[in-house]
Structure 1
Amino acid sequence: MVVDLSAPPRSRPAPARRRRRPRGRPRGPGLWHFLTFAAPGTLVYLCLVLLPIALSFGYSLTNRSLLRPEAEFVGLRNYRLLLEDETFLESLRVTTILTLIVIVVPNALGLAVAVLLDRRGWLYNALRAVFFTPMVISSVVISVIWTRVLADDGPLNQALRAAGVSDPPGWLSDPDIALYSLASIVCWQMLGFCVVVYLAGLQGIPQELSEAAAIDGAGPVRRFRSVTWPLLAPALTINTVVMLISAFKVFDHVKVITNGGPGTGTTATVAFVVLQEGFVENRTGYASAEAMVMLLLIATLSVVTLRFLRRRETQL
């Protein structure tokens, strides 16, 4: 065998070099990231949400009182008493009526106002701010203003007398209409939220869809029913769930405007009864049981409503 010594030696391929991770780049989610980002929020949630719920449930199993430091374990007695408490059952009826009104009226009026304000111009921008202003005002301030407006000798009744109505209604003193007057005030304050959400939904609809429907011969009503309304399904979901939760825990308006009256429990909501039992009657354990039932009802209704409306979104 002849070896050519003049030929250059074959070079072996260099081994593949491992790519080094740049210094300072994190290797992935780890304990440090959890402690930096997730732990503070988790701690706040535990202290301000889960811990109060756990304490309230514990109190609901006792006969605890604000004026008596010692408490005895009574089991589910407080929950059994709720089923026979006419005041609590009446508050559930009042809250149900109030919630239904607050869900339907602001949604319907908010959609109508949003359609009217879905235009360009400084006037429409100013009107949007006007409709949203009640949302940023304190509920107590809103309640004080409307208490004066709807009083028996208030501006509204004086205007009705001037118009020829000899016996105007007692908006807040008549047990038959006091609840509906209260619901109207809550609806007026919550209207701005629904308007803003529906406006956001309308402005997110591609203009080409409405133009294509118009070219096909669809009128304004048909375009709204076939194009606009199905695409507003997410906005309807948000408004319905928020109105449900907000109406079910109304307290400020009831306390300031009617204080649960006129009469006995005419406008007393569940939240009002809970605070009355806990801080006026000093029955902390019983009030905690009422609060747990209220929490369970809100959570159940919210989950059921959210799933139903989400399923409707996918079907549309």
Structure 2
Amino acid sequence: MKRRRWNRRTQRDAWVFAAFAAPNVLFIVLFTYRPLITNIYYSTLDWTLGSASATAVGVGNYVEFFTSPDASSVLGVTAVFTITTVGGAMILGLLVALALNQRLKGRTFARAVVFAPYVLSGVGVGLVWLFIFDPTYGVLSWILRGVGQASPQWVNDPKLALVMVTIVYVWKNLGYCAVVYLAGLQSIPPQLMEAAALDGASNVRRFVSIVVPLLSPTTFFLLITSLLSSLQAFDIIRIMTPSGNGTSTLIFDSYLQAFGSYNRAGYSAAISVVLFVGLLIMTAVQLRFVERKVHYS
């Protein structure tokens, strides 16, 4: 009798679980896995966007990408942009979090100001900063002219264009890192810091020996989320450098190949698959090896 009741209860719970989970699973399949599988299929085609016919080329698009002269440039720009933006946002975010964690007047307002850029539209942020960097009418050029200096050609110079979008992306995302780090700092027991201070540990020693290890779960979380975000950065790059002059990351190059002057949808799909595989590998490596360095207690 008890077994029958348990079976009935288990079946009822299973039906309740299925009723709640099925819509989510359905949406994930329709809007995540189905487009992914379709995109992988498109990457095996020589297909011009808008054309009614396509030719199967197998791995031809992948071979063309990795053997093309532009591949090294695109991969290099992607690596430089990702490392710089992730590292810059996390380091500056930690420094800002340390400042905001102090008992200062107006710190609540300061926290809101720091976090505000993160929730702003990337398009709006890009337009505002494009005006700031404008070599003729921009605010930065006006300041430089005031001290007798000429404004660099930020947009026209490929190297400076990459520096420009990197600065803007770090500025936009450091508030997110700062808020997450601030939450991690506030979870550190103050008794540990007080005990270390009584033992004569300096501020630097306390930061290195106590704060950094206890923030390792927060750092690990930010590393994964920031890395995924930077590798998929598009809106700011698209607004500030529409032609990809020195700023063609993998995702932006995929966009240019499909919707630029090339209209190569199959080749664009292959580039996006390369990006997806790269994201998958980096996430797996972080979960497998980097997480070993994390102290959860």
Specify whether residues 90 and 123 from structure 1 end up closer, same or farther in structure 2 by C-alpha distance, changes over 3 A only: same
TM-score (norm 1): 0.87
One-letter code aligned to 1:83: F
Equivalent in the alignment of 1:128: 111
One-letter code aligned to 1:274: S
The answer on 1:163 being equivalent to 2:147 is: yes
Equivalent in the alignment of 1:283: 264
Equivalent in the alignment of 1:4: none
Quote the offset at 1:68 in angstroms: 1.4
After superposition, the C-alpha distances for 1:70-107 in whole angstroms (9 at most, x for unaligned) are: 22221111111111222333111111100010111111
Q: Helix, strand or coil for the counterpart of 2:196? A: helix
2: distance between equivalents of 1:77 and 1:217?
Answer: 65
One-letter code aligned to 1:268: S
More deviation, 109-118/170-179: 170-179
Question: In the comparison of the two structures, how many residue pairs are matched?
Answer: 294
After superposition, the C-alpha distances for 1:130-164 in whole angstroms (9 at most, x for unaligned) are: 01101110100000000000000211111111122
2: distance between equivalents of 1:174 and 1:288?
Answer: 29
After superposition, the C-alpha distances for 1:2-41 in whole angstroms (9 at most, x for unaligned) are: xxxxxxxxxxxxxxx979969xx94367541242121111
After superposition, the C-alpha distances for 1:138-191 in whole angstroms (9 at most, x for unaligned) are: 1000000000000002111111111222x2322333233221111010000010
One-letter code aligned to 1:91: V
Q: Helix, strand or coil for the counterpart of 2:220? A: helix
Equivalent in the alignment of 2:274: 293
Q: Is the 8 A contact 2:85 2:170 kept in 1?
A: yes
1: distance between equivalents of 2:296 and 2:2?
Answer: 51
Q: Name the structure with the higher helix share.
A: 2
Specify whether residues 29 and 109 from structure 1 end up closer, same or farther in structure 2 by C-alpha distance, changes over 3 A only: farther
The answer on 1:240 being equivalent to 2:223 is: yes
Equivalent in the alignment of 1:40: 23
Q: Is the 8 A contact 2:93 2:174 kept in 1?
A: yes
Q: Is the 8 A contact 2:217 2:296 kept in 1?
A: no
Q: Is the 8 A contact 1:63 1:285 kept in 2?
A: yes
2: distance between equivalents of 1:310 and 1:297?
Answer: 19
TM-score (norm 2): 0.92
Residue correspondence of structure 1 range 189-204 to structure 2 within 5 A: 189-204=172-187
More deviation, 96-105/86-95: 86-95
Specify whether residues 19 and 277 from structure 1 end up closer, same or farther in structure 2 by C-alpha distance, changes over 3 A only: closer
Quote the offset at 1:122 in angstroms: 5.8
More deviation, 241-250/81-90: 81-90
Q: Is the 8 A contact 2:254 2:272 kept in 1?
A: yes
The answer on 1:54 being equivalent to 2:37 is: yes
RMSD over aligned Cα, in angstroms? 2.2
Quote the offset at 1:200 in angstroms: 0.6
Residue correspondence of structure 1 range 221-260 to structure 2 within 5 A: 221-260=204-243
2: distance between equivalents of 1:68 and 1:145?
Answer: 38
Q: Which of the two has higher C-alpha Rg?
A: 1
Quote the offset at 1:199 in angstroms: 0.3
Unmatched tracts of structure 1, length 5 or more: 1-16
Specify whether residues 213 and 283 from structure 1 end up closer, same or farther in structure 2 by C-alpha distance, changes over 3 A only: same
2: distance between equivalents of 1:150 and 1:79?
Answer: 37
After superposition, the C-alpha distances for 1:200-247 in whole angstroms (9 at most, x for unaligned) are: 100111111111111111111111111111000011111111121111
Q: Helix, strand or coil for the counterpart of 1:218? A: coil
Quote the offset at 1:48 in angstroms: 1.0
1:137 is matched with which residue: 114, 117, 120? 120
1: distance between equivalents of 2:105 and 2:200?
Answer: 32
Specify whether residues 44 and 261 from structure 1 end up closer, same or farther in structure 2 by C-alpha distance, changes over 3 A only: closer
The answer on 1:273 being equivalent to 2:257 is: no
2: distance between equivalents of 1:277 and 1:246?
Answer: 21
Q: Is the 8 A contact 2:250 2:275 kept in 1?
A: yes
Q: Helix, strand or coil for the counterpart of 2:106? A: helix
Specify whether residues 207 and 283 from structure 1 end up closer, same or farther in structure 2 by C-alpha distance, changes over 3 A only: same
2:283 is matched with which residue: 276, 287, 302? 302
Equivalent in the alignment of 1:5: none
Identity %: 35
Equivalent in the alignment of 1:113: 96
Q: Helix, strand or coil for the counterpart of 1:68? A: coil
1: distance between equivalents of 2:199 and 2:103?
Answer: 26
